[in-house]
Structure 1
Amino acid sequence: MDVKGGAVFGHSLQANRMARKREPPEAFSRCFKLRQTGTGLSSCCCAHTSLSMQDTKAKLARLWQLVSGLFQAPPGMGRISLALLYGGVCHAIFTAAVLAMITAMFFGMSQSLGSVPWPWALAANAFLVLQFPLAHSFLLTGSGRRILERLAPAPHGKTLATTTYAIIASCQLLALFALWTPSGIVWWRAEGGLFWLIVSAYAASWLVLMKASFDAGAEVQSGALGWMSLVQKIKPVFPDMPETGLFRIIRQPIYVAFALTLWTVPVWTPDQLALALSYTAYCLLAPRLKERRFSAIYGARFKVYQSRVPYVIPRFLSFSRYHSSSGRANSGKE
């Protein structure tokens, strides 16, 4: 679900030290001070907008550089063939997994290919629910990373680690949503105008998830970084610690967006409720482990970001308070 940050797959020690020394973006620091004083909300918003536009352009430029480099790859038929094979498998399974997720949850997990007889289906479904978060989190540990590096032919295991990780995660999600055994019980189906309202919310949740993944680094989230780097015979260049886009509102937008997809479905069944409860808990707890890694890698820089940006709930009330304070101050000056 989330493979944020190059640190997960082995930034060099020198890069990590440099990352620790970096200061928060100037626009963020200035905006944070303005918000603390309760003044200058307009300047704060302008700074955010300017920084977001610059960051989006930088991300697109980085993606274009990675993609365009494929057409200038140094010779090496074996290396290129291996990379293209991994890339094709990765993106095919990734696409299948996403489509399976969207479709299965749209029907409240009432339509799937699983056919395990009851009551054994309870154990089978429980296994499908647990296998993703357990393996997903383990592979981000030191031992897990070493295993990932061994799953690709030497000496390319380290370069292909992000692609291998994405393949495994996609296989896990595809298994969960395609092999689920439905209970056959449907509690509620949205109808009429309410159906379209909920479907719109469901679609919006997926769009937010896509935006959050882009902000975190689309090349890492999709698994493209590994195989594209191998084609070009370069070391993977990971995105910096995400602080802009949706990451300036909350620290865990990917997990929050995924949780939203769980609760905005037009069909409710016991299956969907079980999935929503278990994976919402995962979305709230798992990022704590990721933040420990970020704290160890980015040091004071992450601590400042952590103190400035809330975990999963946006500070909309804070924005309203600052806006009201600013409005009263401006009225007084007039």
Structure 2
Amino acid sequence: MKDIKRLGVPARSSGARVIAACYGLLCHSLFIAAVAAMIVMMYHGMSRSFGDLAEPYGSIANGMLLLQFPIAHSLLLTRGGNRFMRHLAPAGLGADLSTTTYAAIASLQVLALFLLWSPSGIIWWRAEGPLLVALCCAYAAAWLSLLKAIVDAGFALQVGLLGWYSIARGIAVRYPPMPRTGLFRFCRQPIYVAFAATLWTVPTWTPDQLTVAGVLTLYCLIGPLFKEARFKARFGDQFEAYRRHVPYWLPFRRNRK
């Protein structure tokens, strides 16, 4: 306990650690469920889900579900969003648990999108035979690339482990340095590139899948611009030097400046 005080880390009661562990359990349960839902529903081209609204209400609801993820996902990373998340945990744990609550909220958003979607019932194309095998391999490779990018970016931060586990251990929340290794050597936004790849390597195509893939790919192209603005403010010249030498999105396109 003396070591904790010397490092400037507030001592955590057993109650605070239990709260943190509960937040962690909820966060990781939601995260696993969200990833599983995304993999399964997109594999079927968004033709299977639990939404069952008739038109035009189905399209309206689908549009709202599709937009809520990128909008809220971005707003929660603003200063106002950070202040909001600090109020989402008791016992003064809001700030330290912000990475955990952010991952939990994002997982809830993904679950809502993929489980409440109302399918159109139209299937344009479904792969068969060797082509199905090839696309399944590509789909799996895209998800493995996404996992690799998440690990390179700081696994504990990305999946919400950082906040609750630091409290449970009684240590300060220490954010990882700016990612520059692994896939980040080839482009600045490998998480978004890999996520976009999962959208376009599915073996089943429907109007629903095309809509989801189009909107979320647009987010993958535009959303990182706000992230880079935060990185510039936080890391300064370090990020500028990195930005000059590593391309934004396409790994094979090197910056010339």
State the TM bucket, normalised to the shorter chain: over 0.9
Q: Match for residue 185 of structure 1?
A: 122
Superposition deviation, residue 316 in structure 1: 6.5
Alignment of 1:67-146 (within 5 A): 76-146=13-83
**Equivalent pairs: percent with the same residue?**
54
Superposition deviation, residue 234 in structure 1: 2.1
CA change 1:300–1:75 in 2 (3 A) is closer
Superposition deviation, residue 314 in structure 1: 1.3
Alignment of 1:236-247 (within 5 A): 236-247=173-184
- Cα deviation digits, residues 170-218 of structure 1 (max 9, x gap): 0000010011000000000000000000010000000000000000000
Q: 2:100 aligns with which of 163, 166, 185?
A: 163
For the residue of structure 2 that corresponds to 1:278, the secondary structure is: helix
TM-score normalised by length of structure 1: 0.72
- Cα deviation digits, residues 42-66 of structure 1 (max 9, x gap): xxxxxxxxxxxxxxxxxxxxxxxxx
Q: Match for residue 286 of structure 1?
A: 223
Q: Match for residue 212 of structure 1?
A: 149
Residue 150 in structure 1 maps to residue 99 in structure 2: no
- Cα deviation digits, residues 60-90 of structure 1 (max 9, x gap): xxxxxxxxxxxxxx87321121011101100
Number of equivalent positions: 245
Q: What CA RMSD, in Å, does the superposition of the two structures yield over aligned residues?
A: 1.3
Q: Is the 8 A contact 2:20 2:164 kept in 1?
A: yes
Unmatched 5+ stretches in structure 1: 1-73, 319-334
- Cα deviation digits, residues 257-293 of structure 1 (max 9, x gap): 0000000000000000000110000000000011011
- Distance in 2 of aligned mates of 1:184 and 1:140: 36
Q: Match for residue 18 of structure 1?
A: none
Residue 297 in structure 1 maps to residue 229 in structure 2: no
Superposition deviation, residue 154 in structure 1: 3.1
- Distance in 1 of aligned mates of 2:45 and 2:211: 11
Q: Is the 8 A contact 2:16 2:91 kept in 1?
A: no
- Cα deviation digits, residues 209-253 of structure 1 (max 9, x gap): 000000000001110001001112222111100011000000000
Unmatched 5+ stretches in structure 2: 1-10
Q: Match for residue 260 of structure 1?
A: 197
Residue 315 in structure 1 maps to residue 218 in structure 2: no
Q: Which has the larger radius of gyration?
A: 1
- Distance in 2 of aligned mates of 1:312 and 1:254: 10
- Distance in 1 of aligned mates of 2:119 and 2:104: 26
Higher relative contact order structure (alpha carbons within 8 Å, sequence separation ≥ 6): 1
TM-score normalised by length of structure 2: 0.93
Q: What letter matches 1:78 in structure 2?
A: G
- Distance in 1 of aligned mates of 2:227 and 2:160: 18
